[in-house]
Amino acid sequence: MAFLTLFALSSSQIVGASSTSKTPVGITLSPAVVQASISSTESEHRVDFKITNNTSAIQTLGISTADFNTLGETEGLVFMGANPTQLEKKYGLATWMTLPQTSITLTPKQTSTISAVITNSDTLEPGGHYGALMLAIDEGGSSTSPNKVAVHPIASSLLFVNKIGGDSHKLRLTNIYSSHNIFSLPNSVTLRFYNDGNTHLIPRGTVEIADPRGKLVSKGVINEDSNLILPETYRRFSVPLNKVGSSIVPGKYKITTNFRFDGYDQFRGYQSSQFLLTPVLLLVVLGIILVAALVVGFLLLNKDFVKKHLTRIKKPAKKSR
C-alpha cells in the first residue's frame, strides 16, 4: 500500500481556505509561527496551540512533532526524514518536545488548547532549534487499494526556539548578483548571505547604487518580508531597486550594500565590483550633436557649392514665349 503525505509548511489550516479568509473553514491551527527564547534558568518552556474544528462534523486528528530545515537557498522549508544529517540533528527540536496526547477529537465549532513542553536539559545545546507541531486527519483505519494512494493532509505550526547562554549571532554577505547592461541600471539585485552563528537571524539593510560622482541614483530595502536564515545555512534574497535620481552621467557605477540583523544595530558595508553605464539618453543627445556637427562641417567645407545651389533656387525661371 502506498501512502503520500502532504506537508503544508506555510499554512495553519487543513483542507480549508487560506489564513487570510475572513471566515475560517476546515481545521485551523494557531499560531502558525512561534518564536521563543529559553533562558538558562528555565527547566522547561511551554507553548500553547489552539486547534479549531470549523466544520459541521466531528473530527479526530493525530498530533505529532517533527524537525525541519530550509529547502535550498531561496525559500521553503522541509520536514526531516527518517535519516537526518548531523546538521539537522544539531538544530532539531522535536527530541525535546513533549505532547500531552497523540490525538484529539473535536466536535463541530469546538476549539481546544494543546500545550507542548520543551525540556531544557543539558543535551539541548545553546543556540537555535527548530521543530513543528503537526496535525493529521485520522482516517479511522479506512482501507485503501494497493494500487491507490492515500492522501493525509497535514497542518503545521513552526517553532523557532533559541536557547540563551552560548548562542552566537554572525552574518556574512558572500555574493551580490545583478543583471544589467551598459545602457541601463539593474532593476534588482540578489544577495547571498551565510549565517555563521548557531541561531536564526533576520537580515536588514539597504542596497544603493551611486553614479561616478557619488550621487545616489537607485536604492532598495533588504528583506522587507522579515524572512529568517537558519544557522550554518546560505540564503538568497532578491532586493527590488527603486530609482531615486537621474543616471545620465556615463562611467563607473558602484553598488553598495549596508546590512545588519535584528538585535544588532551596527551596519556592515559591502561594495561589489563597479560596472560601466552609458545612458541611452546621453547616446541620443550625443548622436544629435554628432549629426549637427557633420552637417555644419559639410556646409563649411562646401561653401561655394552651397552658395551656388542656393542662388539657383532663388533665381526666377524665364518666362516662355
Average pLDDT (38-54) is 94
Q: 296: number of CA atoms within 13 Å, CB side?
A: 6
Share of the chain above pLDDT 90, in %: 52
In the chain, what's the furthest Cα-to-Cα distance?
124
Asked whether residue 50 falls in the same domain as residue 80, the answer is yes
User: In this structure, are 86 and 123 located in the same domain?
Assistant: yes
138 and 61 share one domain:
yes
Residue type at position 211: D
Burial of 128 (0-12, 13-18, 19+ CB in 10 A): buried
Distance of alpha carbon 290 from alpha carbon 283, whole angstroms: 10
- What is the tally of structural domains in the chain? 3
Q: Prior bond to 31 cis, omega within 30?
A: yes
Is the confidence at residue 66, as pLDDT, over 50? yes
- Same domain membership, residue 181 and residue 153: no
Domain CATH number, residue 250: 2.60.40.10
Place of cell 540564503: 235
- Note the pLDDT of residue 306: 57
Q: Are residues 39 and 107 in the same domain?
A: yes
Identify whether 105 is part of a domain. Answer: yes
Q: Is residue 297's pLDDT more than 60?
A: yes
User: Is 317 domain-assigned?
Assistant: no
Domain that holds residue 176: 171-277
pLDDT classification of 167: cutoffs 50, 70, 90: very high
Q: How far apart are CA 114 and CA 99, in angstroms?
A: 8
Residue ending a domain, among 163, 194, 226, is 163
Average pLDDT in the 1-27 region? 46
pLDDT top residue among 318 and 109: 109
Q: Which residues lie across from 207 on neighbouring strands?
A: 220, 257
In 10 A of CB 288, how many CB atoms? 10
pTM of the model: 0.74
250 located within any domain: yes
Q: What is the pLDDT of residues 102-141, one digit of tens each?
A: 999 999 999 999 999 999 999 999 999 999 999 998 766 5
- How far apart are the C-alpha atoms of 254 and 271, rounded to whole Å? 7
Higher pLDDT: 6 or 234? It is: 234
The closest alpha carbon to 212, from 247, 260, 184, 176, belongs to 247
Q: Is residue 136 part of a domain?
A: yes
Q: What pLDDT, on the 0 to 100 scale, is given for residue 3?
A: 28
Burial 258-269, CB ≥16 within 10 A → b, else e: ebbbeeeeeeee
Our measurement of the distance from residue 76's CA atom to the centroid of its chain's CA atoms, rounded to an integer in Å, reads 9
Instruction: Please choose, from the candidates 176, 172, 200, 198, the residue with its C-alpha nearest in 3D space to the C-alpha of residue 260.
Output: 172
The predicted structure's pLDDT at residue 319: 55
Q: What is the pLDDT of residue 74?
A: 79
- Choosing from 163, 190, 213, the residue where a domain stops is 163
Burial of residue 154, with CB atoms counted within 10 A of its CB: 0-12 exposed, 13-18 middle, 19 or more buried: buried
- Whether 56 and 191 share a structural domain: no
Residue 319 lies in a domain: no
Q: pLDDT band at residue 180, thresholds of 50, 70 and 90? A: confident
Domain check: are 238 and 298 in the same one? no
Of 139, 163, 187, the last residue of a domain is 163
- Is residue 154 a part of any domain in this protein? yes
Say yes or no: 129 and 230 in one domain. no
Within a domain: residue 273?
yes
Mean pLDDT over each residue of the chain, to the nearest integer? 81
Kindly state whether residues 7 and 134 are assigned to the same domain.
yes
Same-domain pairing of 246 and 307: no
Residue 305 belongs to a domain? yes
Question: Residues 185, 261: one domain?
Answer: yes
Domain identity same for 218 and 256: yes
Q: How confident is the model at residue 215 (pLDDT cuts 50, 70, 90)?
A: very high
Q: Is 227 exposed, middle or buried (0-12, 13-18, 19+ CB in 10 A)?
A: exposed
Sign of the torsion formed by the C-alpha atoms of 20, 24, 27 and 31:
positive
